[in-house]
């Protein structure tokens, strides 16, 4: 039974207001002692021509307790409703156990396609710690939208085109050693790329040579194209090793190169709309009336740039997927770029451009040089993940924890700890990377949440053989049990908030609070002790079971795997 719906029906009948108005006005009191749900009577003052406190008292006198409502209090201008705790716990836990892994999910996205573009590293460049911000947020959003019933397509818009590939081909032809590059592709390609820039400072003609190689690549030259594909394939092998560690999968790896033959149409369409104007030899869309710099479509030498390719990509995606949302998980420094291309598409008359969304995020800050790495100033993401796994293993061994497979457990906890760090706060907030907080088993961290889950599963293993599937949940009523079950009930709200605002941290905050309340519950409500009556034991076990399922589901939405024991 939906308690809010029940109260909404009662208030609609008493006040004459429509259900939507009543439901929207409902609030959750800041303190549980004030009730479970509150209705502010201030909007009724003009209609009833009475002070809100008097209205609250009058309505309270007409609202009697029933099977779902324990009592109704008038406090100031508010009506405070107290749920029947026994019924609430029984209904919520039973429904959660019946729903299992689908508790909190929805089908609001049925028939709607959401595209999530994220990660998008540059080919032949290091997959560094900064890339994890986009990867963690994008992967989580993709999982959250799927959980709500949307058809989600995860897109990796690789940086695989541009003049830098002319430079790389030039460098490879001069200094590349195929055998060495095959052994350590990204690091070795980076070395010769850096060497190109060093040598070009001494000999500027190298820049001309690089432009010639990229022109050959654009024209489909066989050798240039073969080398480009080779660099791309080598890079994807390296990238996919990291993606496998993170449990990240993509539906498309179409990068900038894929749209290279689709940009002429963009130029033509914008020109036909009368949007292109000449500026210092370049073709641009004037956005001065929006207090923005012009959106450059063609440079003075006739070459296209990022904006042209991104508009071509958006047009292709609209035609291919007819998307409900087209989400770009890209750093905040690119905010102006997206404002420019979205406005350009709007002016082109593409009504669907309003469904393109930039989901920006902050910076990763590294205090000092305290991370071990073989790669000098470049902090490779794979190194960070491996170091987190190693540090986790050391903590487990130091605590003498008896785990069945320390390698697997260390990997899940170590990687989960890194992901949680990137998803624990609002995405626009910068991250200060700290091993101490990341691997804290007692604070707000992945290890803390995973330990709460493992503790619950340990209780359930000890209870093996006890059938609590039809437990009388009214026997579990207590203050801490009620507070815990109330948190259990709002999982779906947290997931919907995360999708609505494209903020995974709503789920992170939810599951962290759930684990905190769970810890308090099992510390004050003994479960497997001999002096606990059998019916109480079964009721509490049912709550533990439901909570464990939701912890696992919530962490999965963050891309974090649980461990059964720690």
Active site residues: 125, 128, 131
78-83 and 37-40: which strand pairing?
Answer: antiparallel
72 Cβ neighbours under 8 A, 6+ residues apart: 60, 63, 64, 65, 79, 80, 81, 82
Which residue is it, tokens 């890339």?
131
Q: What is the DSSP letter of 128?
A: B
**Contact present, 457 and 522 (Cβ < 8 Å):** no
Separation CA 461–CA 521 (nearest Å):
18
∠ at Cα 219 (218, 220), nearest 5°? 90
461-500 CB burial, b ≥16 within 10 A, e <16? eebeeeebeebebebbbeebbbebbbbbbbbeebbbbbbe
Q: How many CB atoms lie within 10 A of CB 438?
A: 24
The CA R_g of the chain, rounded to the nearest whole Å, is: 29
278 burial type by CB count under 10 A (0-12 exposed, 13-18 middle, 19+ buried): exposed
Strands (E) in 330-456, as ranges, are 356-359, 364-365, 431-432
List, in sequence order, the alpha helices (H) in 402-504: 406-423, 435-438, 446-462, 479-489, 491-501
**Contact present, 188 and 181 (Cβ < 8 Å):** yes
**Contact present, 104 and 492 (Cβ < 8 Å):** yes
The half-sphere exposure of 255 on its side-chain side, counting CA atoms within 13 A, is 17
Residue closest to 257 by CA, chosen among 383, 158, 373, 149: 158
194 Cβ neighbours under 8 A, 6+ residues apart: none
What is the signed CA dihedral for 382, 384, 389, 392, rounded to 10 degrees?
A: -170
Separation CA 53–CA 564 (nearest Å):
52
Cα distances from 327 to residues 40, 151, 324, in angstroms, run 37, 13, 10
Q: How many residues does the chain have?
A: 566
Residue closest to 71 by CA, chosen among 82, 63, 87: 82
For residue 284, the cross-strand partners are 277, 296
Task: With H, G, I as helix, E, B as strand and everything else as coil, classify residue 164.
Answer: helix
**Contact present, 52 and 40 (Cβ < 8 Å):** yes
Separation CA 130–CA 121 (nearest Å):
10
**Contact present, 541 and 533 (Cβ < 8 Å):** no
∠ at Cα 104 (103, 105), nearest 5°? 95
∠ at Cα 178 (174, 180), nearest 5°? 105
């Amino acid at each position: 039974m939906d308690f809010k719906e029940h109260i909404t029906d009662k208030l609609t009948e008493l006040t004459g207001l429509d259900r939507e108005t009543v439901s929207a006005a409902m609030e959750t009191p800041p303190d549980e002692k004030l009730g479970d749900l509150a209705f502010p009577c201030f909007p009724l003052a003009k209609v009833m021509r009475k002070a809100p406190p008097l209205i609250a008292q009058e309505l309270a006198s007409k609202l009697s307790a029933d099977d779902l409502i324990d009592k109704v209090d008038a406090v100031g201008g508010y009506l405070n409703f107290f749920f029947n705790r026994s019924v609430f716990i029984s209904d919520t836990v039973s429904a959660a156990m019946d729903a299992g892994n689908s508790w909190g999910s929805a089908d609001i996205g049925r028939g709607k396609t959401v595209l999530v573009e994220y990660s998008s590293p540059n080919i032949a460049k290091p997959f560094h710690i900064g890339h994890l911000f986009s990867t963690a947020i994008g992967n989580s959003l993709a999982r959250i939208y799927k959980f709500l019933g949307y058809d989600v397509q995860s897109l990796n818009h690789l940086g695989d085109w541009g003049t830098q590939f002319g430079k790389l081909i030039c460098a490879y032809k001069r200094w590349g050693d195929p055998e060495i590059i095959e052994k350590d592709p990204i690091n070795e390609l980076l070395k010769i790329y850096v060497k190109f820039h060093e040598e070009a400072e001494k000999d500027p003609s190298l820049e001309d040579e690089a432009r010639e190689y990229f022109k050959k690549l654009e024209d489909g030259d066989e050798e240039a194209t073969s080398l480009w594909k080779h660099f791309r394939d080598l890079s994807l092998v390296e990238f996919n090793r990291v993606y496998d560690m993170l449990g990240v999968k993509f539906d498309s790896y179409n990068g900038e190169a894929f749209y290279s033959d689709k940009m002429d149409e963009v130029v033509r369409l914008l020109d036909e709309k009368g949007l292109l104007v000449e500026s210092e030899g370049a073709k641009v869309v004037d956005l001065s009336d929006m207090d923005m710099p012009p959106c450059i479509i063609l440079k003075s030498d006739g070459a296209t740039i990022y904006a042209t390719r991104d508009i071509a990509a958006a047009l292709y995606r609209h035609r291919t997927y007819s998307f409900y949302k087209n989400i770009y998980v890209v750093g905040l420094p690119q905010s102006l770029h997206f404002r420019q291309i979205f406005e350009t598409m709007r002016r082109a008359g593409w009504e669907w451009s309003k469904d393109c969304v930039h989901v920006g995020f902050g910076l990763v800050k590294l205090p000092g040089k305290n991370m071990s790495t073989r790669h000098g100033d470049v902090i490779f993401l794979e190194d960070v993940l491996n170091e987190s796994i190693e540090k986790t293993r050391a903590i487990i061994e130091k605590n003498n924890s008896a785990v069945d497979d320390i390698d697997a457990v260390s990997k899940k906890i170590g990687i989960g700890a890194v992901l949680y760090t990137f998803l624990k706060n609002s995405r626009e907030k910068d991250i200060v990377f700290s091993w101490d907080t990341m691997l804290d088993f007692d604070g707000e961290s992945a290890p803390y949440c995973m330990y709460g889950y493992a503790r619950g599963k340990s209780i359930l293993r000890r209870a093996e053989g006890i059938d609590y599937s039809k437990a009388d949940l009214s026997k579990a009523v207590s203050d801490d049990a009620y507070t815990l079950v109330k948190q259990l009930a709002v999982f779906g709200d947290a997931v919907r908030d995360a999708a609505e605002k494209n903020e995974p941290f709503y789920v992170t905050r939810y599951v962290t609070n759930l684990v905190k309340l769970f810890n308090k519950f099992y510390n004050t409500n003994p479960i497997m002790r001999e002096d606990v009556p059998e019916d109480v034991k079964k009721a509490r076990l049912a709550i533990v079971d439901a909570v464990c399922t939701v912890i696992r589901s919530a962490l999965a939405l963050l891309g974090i795997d649980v461990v059964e024991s720690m």
